[in-house]
Structures are given as C-alpha cells and as structure tokens.
Amino acid sequence: MKTRLLPYLVLTLVVAQLSVLAGVAAAQSIDPRREYHACMDEARSNPKLGFDHAVHWLGLGGGDAARHCQGVALIGMGQHAEGARRIEALAQDMRAVSGFRAELLAQAAQGWMLAGNAQQAEALLTAAIKLDPNDLELRLDRSQALAQRGDFATVIADLSTVLAQDPTKVDALVFRASAYRQTGKTDLATADLVAALQLNPSHPEALLERGMLNRLAGNAAAARRDWLSVIERSPASPAAKVAQENLERMDSGRDGTKGLPKVK
C-alpha cells in the first residue's frame, strides 16, 4: 500500500509559508523558495549533503524551512526517530494553516513508523485527521499504523471511510481486503480484491493478497499463479519479496500466507 513513505510537503504549501520562514535569510539576499527547493532535493538524493545544507542555512536564518529539511534528511539517513522528533516538534511550534501542520504531522508519523513506533505514529495521524478531516491519505496512513498494532477493526473503519468518499482508491481496497482476511472475513476480502483488480488488473499487492486467499481456500495452484505473477510483473517490489517467501513456505509445507508489508 503506497502512502507517504518519505513524503515531501507540497511546495505550494511551503511557498505560502516562505514569507514567515525566511527571517534573516531574506535580509541576506537568499531566495528562501530556491533554497528550500535545493535543500529538499538534496535531502532526497543525498541525505547527508541535504542535512549539512540545512545546518548551514539554519545558521543564516533559514528558520522553520531549514528545520524541516533537517528532519527529512535525518529520516533519509536512517535516523528515523530523530528525524520524526524534529518534524513533530516543528509541527507543534510553527504557526501555520491546519492543512500544512497536518502534512508535517503525517510526515513525522511516517518517520515513527520506520522507527517501529506505531503507537506514536497513530497518535500523530489522529491529530492530523482532526486538523484536516477531508484528507483521505491521512486515514490511509493511520490504517498502516493501526495494522502494525493489530487493530484491524479500526483499520477497516478508516478504510471504509476512505472508500465511501472515493471507491476507486485501489490501495485502500487492497489493504481493507488484507484486514478482512486477518479477521476471518474472507468473503468481504474477496469482494474488495475483485473490485481492486477490476480497477488495476496488475496491482502487485492485490495479486499477492488474492494468492493468500487462494492458499487459505486450499487452492495451491491458484495461489502459485498469483504469486508468480507478482514476481514476474514487479520483481523489485516488496510484494514480490513476500510472494517469493510465501511460495517457499508453501513448497516446504508451511502455511504460505505471510502478510502484506506494513510500510512501503
């Protein structure tokens, strides 16, 4: 399920804050908009370089924009908890429109997910949803945190809210199917997968999940076809890795129904 794994705030939202964030930097003829673009590009492509850039810019008055770049770079460097803490603190400190703060909280939550702290991620995403209840992606994100904690009933509730507003969200259909499967509601899981594969017949996670349902139903041949299709269509994907592991488990006599990756 694809969500904000390492999301970068929509630049139009950032630009709306630049007059506030620029501070001393503007007085020193630094274009904050260009500086932010450059710093975030480096944080994506070379996190260590991006972090150093952010530190330097912060010293020149880069303010909250430089702090945000630091946090993103730290997550990119694998320092997930520290990056999450910094972005969370930024969201709490800055005065900004609700949607902007919700995006920051969602990004901090993803850092906490990568750090293995699903409880903190869920708390931040709940706060983000209160700030921006119309952002469906926030509920998709929270469903992943809830799934890591095994709260599949709330996962289903969140995803049902998403799908009531947009029934074409394939990732939500697939992840709800996974939650239904893990609560024993295989008929509902099957219905979601049928809908998902009608929208996207080659969706790797949908094929992976259908293979699990086929395996649970005792149809090993169909499960094998689905998992091989995942590997052939998306060989470098996390879903392909799980499909390969499930094939090996099935061939060795084990259950062959390892769950979907919780974070991608």
Q: Are residues 145 and 155 in the same domain?
A: no
Q: Are residues 116 and 223 in the same domain?
A: no
Quick one: which of 152, 154, 160 has its CA closest to 260? 152
Distance (Å, rounded) from C-alpha 117 to C-alpha 56? 30
- Residue 13's SS3 state is helix
Domain end, chosen from 149, 166, 197, is at 149
Q: Are residues 121 and 16 in the same domain?
A: yes
In the prediction, which pLDDT does 258 show? Answer: 53
Q: Are residues 18 and 65 in the same domain?
A: yes
In the prediction, which pLDDT does 37 show? Answer: 87
Q: Are residues 29 and 13 in the same domain?
A: yes
Q: Are residues 140 and 194 in the same domain?
A: no
Number of domains in the chain: 2
* Residue 101 contacts residue 94 (beta carbons within 8 Å): yes
116-163 pLDDT, tens digit each: 999 999 999 999 999 999 999 999 999 999 999 899 999 999 999 999
Name the average pLDDT for the chain.
Answer: 86
Q: Are residues 38 and 145 in the same domain?
A: yes
For 6-10, 30-34, 253-257, which range has the lowest pLDDT when averaged over its residues?
A: 6-10
| 205: containing domain | 151-264
193-241 pLDDT, tens digit each: 999 999 999 999 999 999 999 999 999 999 999 999 999 999 999 999 9
pLDDT at 58 over 90: no
In the prediction, which pLDDT does 30 show? Answer: 65
Q: Are residues 155 and 192 in the same domain?
A: yes
pLDDT at 15 over 80: no
For the ranges 23-32, 65-74, 188-197, the maximum mean pLDDT occurs at 188-197
Backbone φ/ψ region at 34: left (φ over 0), alpha (ψ -120 to 50), beta? alpha
CA distances to 138, 231, 262 from 235, rounded to whole Å, are 29, 5, 18
**Has this prediction a pTM greater than 0.85?**
no
Domain end, chosen from 86, 118, 149, is at 149
Type of residue found at 89: A
Q: Are residues 219 and 191 in the same domain?
A: yes
Q: Are residues 91 and 110 in the same domain?
A: yes
Q: Are residues 28 and 144 in the same domain?
A: yes
Distance (Å, rounded) from C-alpha 74 to C-alpha 82? 7
Token representation of residue 10:
């929509």
In the prediction, which pLDDT does 97 show? Answer: 72
Q: Are residues 164 and 61 in the same domain?
A: no
pLDDT at 4 over 50: no
Mean pLDDT of 58-84: 92
Domain end, chosen from 149, 179, 195, is at 149
* Residue 97 contacts residue 133 (beta carbons within 8 Å): no
Distance (Å, rounded) from C-alpha 2 to C-alpha 12? 22
Distance (Å, rounded) from C-alpha 31 to C-alpha 16? 14
CATH number of the domain that residue 130 is part of: 1.25.40.10
